[in-house]
Structure 1
Amino acid sequence: MMALLFSLILAICTGPGFSESSSRLRLVGGRHHCEGRVEVEQEGLWGTICDDGWDIKDVAVVCRELGCGAAKGVPYGNLYKPPAAEEQKVLFQDVNCIGMEDALSQCDKSEDVFNCLHQEDAGASCEILESLRLIDGPGRCKGRVEVKHQDQWGTVCMSERGLPAAKVMCRQLGCGRATLTQRCCKKNTQGQGPIWLSQLSCSGQEKSLVDCPSGLWGENNCTHDEDMWVECEDPFDLRLVGGDNRCSGRLEVLHNGVWGSVCDDDWGEKQDQVVCKQLGCGESLSPSAKVRKSFGPGVGRIWLDDVRCSGKEESLEQCRHRFWGYHNCNHKEDVGVVCSE
């Protein structure tokens, strides 16, 4: 009798479909398995989560449950293609995690979903745990290729199919497109440890380097004269132009190798704080609208619109925004920022 009572209480408390034992989680449509639209399996069918109340704490739990690294951002789920199928249900709304839970099933949420369509699907962006890196270059997106195997970093031997492999690496690292691949380096910057991979034969479509055919780990006839060097575009560089110094001016972001401006829709002090922090320019000085417009209009692309930050992000990349290049603005609405140097 007591066992039956306990089972009834457990069923009432856990509710259907989102208990720890019956649900699975995945991210769909991203550049890798640690980014995309959040989907949960319920009774053998995959459904989405409404982004009402969805924030970086909820993303942190998703990243932890999937074995990914730290939470990077809270993107809109409908940016990831292909979109959720019409027959997929929006399963949960108002998910509210503390951020320390081990699984999304442990977070408060509502299963009574109303007025929430797939245009409001939640997304998540997490870091990939470090297994690939580019080092000794100018920034994290350029350098000698190293991979981690048996808890030790080693180099990769340059192969004939270097460019497709470079495309995969740049994608895995969350950098932009591959711009250069070549043999590395001067003697003083060559690798010193093991040469882990050789005979890479990527198609360029793989999500991770481990998905590419290669020789056996550690078995090769290469030397460090053949270490692989790769350069990718840094996907989210910022600058302020038109001001008296590098810490004031019209905000521009680099995307696909092209600088473009940012629309001031929904722009405010929290977004200023993130920009100043990312540029190492101190605090925002909260300039007036007149000062913001004094840097003049930009030309060319308007890359970002409807940027929404909490103010705690380390990079503008972690803030929510429309898909790259989508906006309803003109250059009279370009954002201007002034920071204390």
Structure 2
Amino acid sequence: MSHRVLMLFLSVWSSGLWAEDKHASTVPGDYRLVNGGHNCSGLVEVYDEGTWRNKYSEPWEQTEAAAVCRKLNCGSVVSLRRYFNHDGSDEVYRLRITCSESLRLVNGTSRCSGRLEERSNQSWSLVCKDGFQWQEAEKVCRELECGPPSALFGELHREKEAPLGSKELQCPRNESDHEAAVLICSEQQFVKLHMAGASRCSGKLMMRQLINWLYVDEKNWDLKVVAAVCRRLDCGSPVSIRSRSISLKAGWRIKADCDVLSSDCLLFKPSTSVIEITCSDSVRLVNGTNLCSGRLEVQFDWSWSSVSEDGFDQQDAEVVCRELGCGPPSVLQGALFTGGPVWRKGFECEGTESALLACNISAPDRTPSSANRSVQLTCSDPNSLRLVGESSLCAGKLEMTNKGEWRPVVDWELIWNQVSADAVCRRLGCGTAVSANMKKEHEDRPVWWIKSSCIQSTSVLRDCVTLTGLGKSSWSMEVVCSELLLQPTIVTFPNSMEVFRVDQRELQVLLGSSFSIMCYIPAQYQGGYFQLLFTASNAALSYSLPAVNHSAHFRFPSMDLSHQGSYSCIYHLHVFSQDFSSKSQTIYLRVGASVTDLIIRLVVLLLGMTLSVTAICCYSKRLAAKARVQEKTTVICVGGEK
């Protein structure tokens, strides 16, 4: 028997007869692949209760398929497909997995990256970097249904008995340290927009995992995830997400905990709706704190450039914010930028255009005043929150306005916790949350679906909206905040004119006079009571009265030194099964002189003034008489000389 025939025989035996013996196992939980072209391809079955059964559950993901491949001593997952079952059983779907037979990438960040291993004699051995060239790397990536290789390097691998590769690629036997080949294949295009509208950057979202292009349903999507899609498509910033009803036999759903968008984030899942997304064509904000802020870039001739701040004004900024679906510009400034090309042409927008590139464009200035300064723009949040249905702005059902329309807000996972409610209360200036509840309404109505956890981490609520199109629910999210009550007011009422204002916070009450302090609060809830707090240098007292018509009067018959000090009102109310309170500003009352003392002082003052006037008059008369005598004497002397 020739060497070639012998190798062919061994190959058939190892991939066929050996596989059949191996999968004749009766261990519960064991897997096998049937009706495939080789032992590493076929419909998935699992051994359970003494028989082989169809293995399928929702959702099914690539990591589970990879586990099956490992259990069967096969390589990496090459394809994962769902099929309808036509054998008349109750199991509607079946899964077909294809694993690579002789190559795999392990310990990588994705299925298309990792240390390269090959199978020989039913065992896996690492491939050494020495002798493994770029041409072989291209073949490996192609066999694993990945894109072209993007990196190939060696990684030191130490083992007491290092597994050896094939004769051509095996590591030297006399060395304990081996440089294993580490290969990174690029992922093939896995995102596209189908049946796009007026722009290549809008349409129904399709994603590819392995060899399967399928529509993507609406679960777990918000504008932050859409931003990753827009970047993949070389489009601008995300503008909107919409859900479109459609009956799908098979579709993708993105994992809820996927931080980086990739094909590894996808799950098989039947769906009744698909995502339709819109990205801006030629404008985006990058490196900002949210989707409505960052450095402004425009795309022209398939190239992105930062926009120079020269000549870029408020009207231009208004057009950009409108194009990106954000609120009006709140901050427009320039910042030093040296990281790439800069757009130096000027925009002459009137402020009403729908897109920045629809404005008139002027020739670039030959002598720019800020050669390396680009536009940094922050648009305001187009969304606002409110609590409705109660007598306070700080309690009720949560609503949000999006693009001018108010709707109830519902978490897409029907989760509403204290932490998210705290974030809402802080946004409304209502303190912290004391309760957060989900409530079932009588019927479905249009709602805004959000990720409530997003409210905790972003300043722009637009980032948290998961769907802005079709969406109805009978649930509502309720919150009660700590600063539920308005601030009460404290007022001092004197008898006649016995209280004198010293300044805005201090009053003087005459000794012995009667006075009263009134606490009141604008009408919100019935009931409750007022507490009047008094503090002095040597005393602290408290008085309480029920709230009648939202007020209470505390009367004092005679002012004395024991009443001098600070006063404030606290309103207490039990509502929503919670105790709430609100405190007024503080005033200070000082003891003044009594009425008798004032009269005596007034008489003395008048008597003193009378005596002063009399003395002045007498003194004036003496001065006048003296002047007349002197005048008469002068006349006589002059006459004698004559």
Q: TM-score, normalised by structure 2?
A: 0.31
Match of 1:174 among 325, 328, 340: 325
Residue 254 (structure 1) aligned with residue 396 (structure 2): no
Give the match for residue 38 of structure 1.
Answer: 205
Taking the TM superposition and a 5 Å limit, the aligned residue runs for 1:153-168 are: 153-156=309-312, 168=319
**Shift of the alpha carbon at 1:108?**
4.4
Give unmatched runs, 5+ long, in structure 1. 133-139, 181-188, 221-231, 294-301
**Shift of the alpha carbon at 1:311?**
1.8
Q: 1:104 is aligned with what amino acid?
A: S
Measure the CA separation in 2 of the matches of 1:131 and 1:312.
19
Residue 116 (structure 1) aligned with residue 271 (structure 2): yes
Residue 104 (structure 1) aligned with residue 250 (structure 2): no
Contact 2:309 2:334 in 1 (8 A): no
Contact 1:198 1:215 in 2 (8 A): yes
**Shift of the alpha carbon at 1:32?**
9.1
Quick one: structure 1 residues 94 and 147, their matched pair in 2 at CA, closer, same or farther if it must change by over 3 Å?
closer
Contact 1:240 1:246 in 2 (8 A): yes
Q: 1:217 is aligned with what amino acid?
A: P
Contact 1:26 1:38 in 2 (8 A): yes
**Shift of the alpha carbon at 1:238?**
1.6
Measure the CA separation in 1 of the matches of 2:332 and 2:409.
44
Taking the TM superposition and a 5 Å limit, the aligned residue runs for 1:42-191 are: 47-51=214-218, 61-62=228-229, 65-66=232-233, 77-78=242-243, 93-96=252-255, 99=258, 101=260, 104-105=262-263, 107-110=264-267, 113=268, 115-117=270-272, 119-121=273-275, 128-130=284-286, 152-156=308-312, 168-175=319-326
Measure the CA separation in 1 of the matches of 2:381 and 2:451.
21
Residue 338 (structure 1) aligned with residue 480 (structure 2): yes
Q: 1:38 is aligned with what amino acid?
A: L
**Shift of the alpha carbon at 1:169?**
2.4
Bigger RCO (CA 8 Å, 6+ sep): 1
**Shift of the alpha carbon at 1:304?**
5.0
Match of 2:435 among 258, 261, 286: 286
Quick one: structure 1 residues 68 and 54, their matched pair in 2 at CA, closer, same or farther if it must change by over 3 Å?
same
Give the match for residue 299 of structure 1.
Answer: none
Measure the CA separation in 2 of the matches of 1:157 and 1:37.
35
Contact 1:61 1:97 in 2 (8 A): no
Secondary structure at 1:307 match in 2: strand
Identity of aligned residues (%): 22
Q: Please give the per-residue CA displacement for 1:139-195, whole angstroms capped at 9, x wherever unaligned.
A: x89xxxx9677675344368xxx7xx777423334225x8x9xxxxxxxx99899x9
Give the match for residue 226 of structure 1.
Answer: none
Q: 2:362 is aligned with what amino acid?
A: G
Quick one: structure 1 residues 42 and 77, their matched pair in 2 at CA, closer, same or farther if it must change by over 3 Å?
farther
Measure the CA separation in 1 of the matches of 2:437 and 2:362.
60
**Shift of the alpha carbon at 1:104?**
1.9
Measure the CA separation in 1 of the matches of 2:359 and 2:211.
31
Structure (1 or 2) with the larger CA radius of gyration: 2
Measure the CA separation in 2 of the matches of 1:247 and 1:33.
44
Measure the CA separation in 1 of the matches of 2:410 and 2:220.
23
Matched length: 282
**Shift of the alpha carbon at 1:200?**
4.1
Contact 2:417 2:436 in 1 (8 A): no
Quick one: structure 1 residues 124 and 276, their matched pair in 2 at CA, closer, same or farther if it must change by over 3 Å?
farther
Give unmatched runs, 5+ long, in structure 2. 1-6, 8-100, 104-137, 148-184, 298-304, 336-343, 368-378, 484-642
Q: 1:62 is aligned with what amino acid?
A: V
Q: 1:276 is aligned with what amino acid?
A: C
Give the match for residue 365 of structure 2.
Answer: 218
**Shift of the alpha carbon at 1:23?**
1.2
Measure the CA separation in 1 of the matches of 2:425 and 2:334.
38
Match of 1:305 among 447, 471, 481: 447
30-39 or 210-219, which deviates more: 30-39
Residue 269 (structure 1) aligned with residue 411 (structure 2): no
**Shift of the alpha carbon at 1:116?**
2.6
Secondary structure at 1:218 match in 2: coil
Measure the CA separation in 2 of the matches of 1:192 and 1:56.
26
Contact 1:239 1:251 in 2 (8 A): yes
Q: CA RMSD in A?
A: 6.4
Residue 240 (structure 1) aligned with residue 387 (structure 2): yes
**Shift of the alpha carbon at 1:236?**
0.6
Measure the CA separation in 2 of the matches of 1:53 and 1:191.
35
Secondary structure at 1:217 match in 2: coil
Q: Please give the per-residue CA displacement for 1:205-263, whole angstroms capped at 9, x wherever unaligned.
A: 44xx245441123369xxxxxxxxxxx995211233566765334434334446x3416
Match of 1:317 among 442, 448, 462: 462
Contact 1:304 1:324 in 2 (8 A): no
Match of 2:189 among 3, 7, 23: 23
**Shift of the alpha carbon at 1:60?**
6.7
Residue 197 (structure 1) aligned with residue 346 (structure 2): yes
Secondary structure at 1:235 match in 2: coil
Secondary structure at 2:321 match in 1: helix
